[in-house]
Amino acid sequence: MLLPLLLLVVMGTIEFGRVLNVQISMTQAAREGARYAAIHYQDPGLNVTSATLAAAPSLSGLPVAVTNNAGSCAAGANVTVTTRVTLPSLSGFLDAGFFGAPGIFPMTLTGVGVMRCGG
Domain ranges of the chain: 2-116
Q: What is the pLDDT of residue 59?
A: 85
Residue 40: how many CB atoms within 10 A of its CB?
18
Q: What is the pLDDT of residue 18?
A: 92
Q: Is the pLDDT of residue 31 over 90?
A: yes
pLDDT digits (tens, 9 = 90+) for 34-60: 999 998 888 878 899 899 999 988 888
Q: What is the pLDDT of residue 21?
A: 94
Q: What is the pLDDT of residue 3?
A: 92
pLDDT digits (tens, 9 = 90+) for 56-89: 888 888 888 998 888 888 888 899 999 999 988 8
Residues 60 and 85: beta-carbon distance below 8 Å: no
Residue 3: how many CB atoms within 10 A of its CB?
7
Q: What is the pLDDT of residue 8?
A: 82
Return mean pLDDT, the chain.
86
Q: Round to whole Å and give the CA distance between 115 and 100.
A: 44
Q: Is the pLDDT of residue 93 over 70?
A: no
Indicate yes or no: pTM above 0.85: no
Q: Round to whole Å and give the CA distance between 3 and 72.
A: 56
For CA atoms 10, 12, 17, 18, the dihedral sign is positive
